[in-house]
Structure 1
Amino acid sequence: MIIIGIDPGLARLGYGVIRVDRDITAPVCYGCMETLAGIRPAERLLEIYNGISSLFDRYPPEELAMEKLFFSKNITSAMGVSEVRGVVLLAAEQHQIPVTEYTPNQVKQAVTGSGRADKNQVQQMITRLLHLDEVPQPDDVADALSIALCHSHVMR
């Protein structure tokens, strides 16, 4: 089974593609889609839509996992993330990919065993679980892989 994890963001969208076969979980690819701040928001969203659609075509997932929107103090940034989530949901629906959403605490709990784990603990655990040589950078990529891993644990 192929699972894609998404950490949505307007400036940077992290993605992680993993393959789960019985008890073996392996990374397929991971990275970050970046959009420039100086272009129109609609152009940025179209760029993300095209990138996500291309990712779905290259690595057709059976499941998509995405971080639930967490409202912080910066409402402007939350609005941008919300728009990106809409674009990702649209692309997933067009590709008939089921989407499951997880809170940051659910991801931490599934990956480390503690919903209070810090970012470093989560990053170290995904590095070990996926047999990576180093922590994926930037943080958005590591977050996306942890979201995909969370989904694989929940599916079991």
Structure 2
Amino acid sequence: MIIAGIDPGLQNTGIAAIEKFDRTYQLMTCDRIETRTDVAFEIRLKTIYDKLTEFIECYLPDQIALEEIFYAQNAKVALKMGHARGVTLLAAANQGVPVSEYSAREIKLSVTGNGNASKHQVQQMICRILNINIASASYDVSDAMAVAYCHSQRLNNRR
């Protein structure tokens, strides 16, 4: 089973695809979609949508796991983040891929065993779980890997 993890954001959206075998996982890809602040808002959203669509078409995930947005400095920021999240959901829906959402706390707990873990701790543990060395990756990317892993664990628990 292929699970895509997405950490949505307007400036940086983390994306990852992992393949789940019986008891092991393999990272297929991970990346970050970046948009520039000097570009029109609607073009930034289109960039996110287009790159997510390309990602989904390339890796053909069976399911997508998405990190919920839980914090915003003000209403304007929250609204813009909601738009980025919306185009993420639209890209998944247009490709017919089901989406599950998880809070940051759920993801941290699944990956590290501690719902209050730091981003650095999550990054270190997800790299250990996937047996990779990408310590230089952004937290957006490691969060995308972590949400994909979290979803795979939830699928195991449902059986």
Is the Cα contact below 8 Å between 1:136 and 1:142 reproduced in 2? Answer: no
- Per-residue CA deviation, residues 121-152 of structure 1 (Å, 9 max, x unaligned), is 11111010011123251110011111111111
- Per-residue CA deviation, residues 16-56 of structure 1 (Å, 9 max, x unaligned), is 11000111111000010111111111111111111000001
Are 2:44 and 1:77 equivalent residues in the alignment? Answer: no
After TM superposition, list the pairs within 5 Å mapping 1:37-116 onto structure 2: 37-116=37-116
- Tell me by how many angstroms 1:12 deviates: 0.7
Report SS of the residue matched to 1:33: strand
Overall identity of the aligned pairs, in %: 37
Report SS of the residue matched to 2:73: coil
5+ residue gaps, structure 2, are none
User: TM-score, normalised to structure 2's length?
Assistant: 0.94
Is the Cα contact below 8 Å between 1:69 and 1:81 reproduced in 2? Answer: yes
- Tell me by how many angstroms 1:5 deviates: 0.5
Is the Cα contact below 8 Å between 1:13 and 1:32 reproduced in 2? Answer: yes
Q: 1:13 and 1:7 mapped to 2: Cα distance?
A: 6
The match for 2:135 is 135
Q: How many residues align?
A: 156
Q: 1:38 and 1:135 mapped to 2: Cα distance?
A: 29
- Tell me by how many angstroms 1:9 deviates: 0.6
Q: 2:74 and 2:123 mapped to 1: Cα distance?
A: 25
Greater mean deviation of Cα atoms: 58-67 or 118-127: 118-127
Paired AA for residue 14 in structure 2: G
The match for 2:20 is 20
Q: 2:142 and 2:78 mapped to 1: Cα distance?
A: 20
Report SS of the residue matched to 1:31: strand
Report SS of the residue matched to 1:39: coil
- Tell me by how many angstroms 1:90 deviates: 0.7
User: TM-score, normalised to structure 1's length?
Assistant: 0.95
In angstroms, what is the RMSD of aligned CA positions?
A: 1.1
5+ residue gaps, structure 1, are none
Report SS of the residue matched to 1:132: coil
The match for 1:5 is 5
Paired AA for residue 103 in structure 2: T
